[in-house]
Amino acid sequence: MDQQAVCILESPEHELQCRSMSDRYSLPLVSNLSEISAKYALRYHDGVLKLWDLQEPKFRPISFDANQTGRIGKNSLLGKAMGKKTRTIVDATAGLGQDALLLARMGFSVIAIERVPVISALLEDGIARATSTEQHLRIQHSFGDARDLLLKLSVRPDAIYLDPMYPEGRKKSVKVSRPLKVIRELAGDDPDSVDLLQTALRSTARRIVVKRPVYAAPLCLRVLAGSLKGKMVRYDIYVRTGWTRTLSIFPSEYSVERRQYLLQSFQLFQTDSVPDQGLC
């Protein structure tokens, strides 16, 4: 059987965890690696779920490492981008959870969504370990595509944070860390990130923050409210209050959907361009 990744069941100590992970993420459970040809294997080691590269065993296995994530305050660029009134954030592209952890350590309550099964399994394990050692952290994990989950949230987040995969940079020589390389291999290039932003803009969150490299254009210039720019990274901010205020040019008895539709047509008319999809 050819698989991208499998879970290895080695010790009876982790049997329950392995079985439930394999069910939850539909990953084959094996005890003998020769049964299967896969590039990656998940296995528990010293109580930590790790991802091994079976084809390149010289590389250290990857896991969610809370100790490698620093601490930054609400005065950092990321903290400021989230806005003063924000309490609850959905990190809709959680990856290995480094930004989710930074945000939780700043005091935000975070819901971390990831759609790639192997990455989500590592994230889930890491969040459980981080929140058990730092008990003030409030991070909830969710597996699935944020384009579906954002419209079904049981809480109303103040902000949605998006950090889709960066487009290729101008300098091909820039060194990329091993975990990022593996994430790109497993997750791909996130070609649907504009779609994800449009879903976030339709959700109930007041603010959407998108992390971009400084060399890349904003995902949606049309409704961009502002940006905070650092040396390497830019946080593009989309604010729903501005959007709602703009909607007020139409009679209030019109539904929001109708006003949004009219606004889009109005903007289309103004800019004389035809967007591929919806708002952007």
Ligand X SMILES: C[S@@+](CC[C@H](N)C(=O)[O-])C[C@H]1O[C@@H](n2cnc3c(N)ncnc32)[C@H](O)[C@@H]1O
- Written as six digits, the tokens of 203 are 């959700």
Nearer to ligand X, 21 or 127 (CB): 127
DSSP for residue 63: -
CA 44/CA 10 separation, integer angstroms:
8
**Is the distance from CB of 207 to CB of 239 less than 8 angstroms?**
yes
Closest approach of ligand X to the CB of residue 169, in Å = 14
Closest CA to 24 of 152, 140, 130, 125: 125
Tokens 């603010």 sit on residue: 207
CA 223/CA 236 separation, integer angstroms:
10
Nearer to ligand X, 18 or 92 (CB): 92
Interface positions with ligand X (CB under 6 A): 92-99, 113-116, 119, 145-147, 163-165, 183, 187, 190, 196
Residue type, 190: D
Nearer to ligand X, 4 or 241 (CB): 4
Q: Is 125 exposed, middle or buried (0-12, 13-18, 19+ CB in 10 A)?
A: buried
Nearer to ligand X, 186 or 263 (CB): 186
Closest approach of ligand X to the CB of residue 41, in Å = 19
Closest approach of ligand X to the CB of residue 264, in Å = 22
Closest approach of ligand X to the CB of residue 256, in Å = 24
Closest approach of ligand X to the CB of residue 31, in Å = 28
Nearer to ligand X, 86 or 98 (CB): 98
Phi, psi of 12 (to 5 degrees): -60, -25
CA 129/CA 148 separation, integer angstroms:
27
- How many residues are present in the chain? 280
* Dihedral (Cα; 97, 99, 105, 111), 10-degree rounding: -60
State the residue number with the nearest CB to ligand X.
95
**Is the distance from CB of 197 to CB of 205 less than 8 angstroms?**
no
Nearer to ligand X, 39 or 147 (CB): 147
Nearer to ligand X, 14 or 211 (CB): 211
Closest approach of ligand X to the CB of residue 219, in Å = 12
Closest approach of ligand X to the CB of residue 114, in Å = 5
Nearer to ligand X, 14 or 125 (CB): 125
Taking the mean position of all CA atoms in its chain, how far away is CA 243? Answer: 24
Half-sphere exposure of 201 (CA within 13 A, CB side): 25
Closest approach of ligand X to the CB of residue 190, in Å = 4
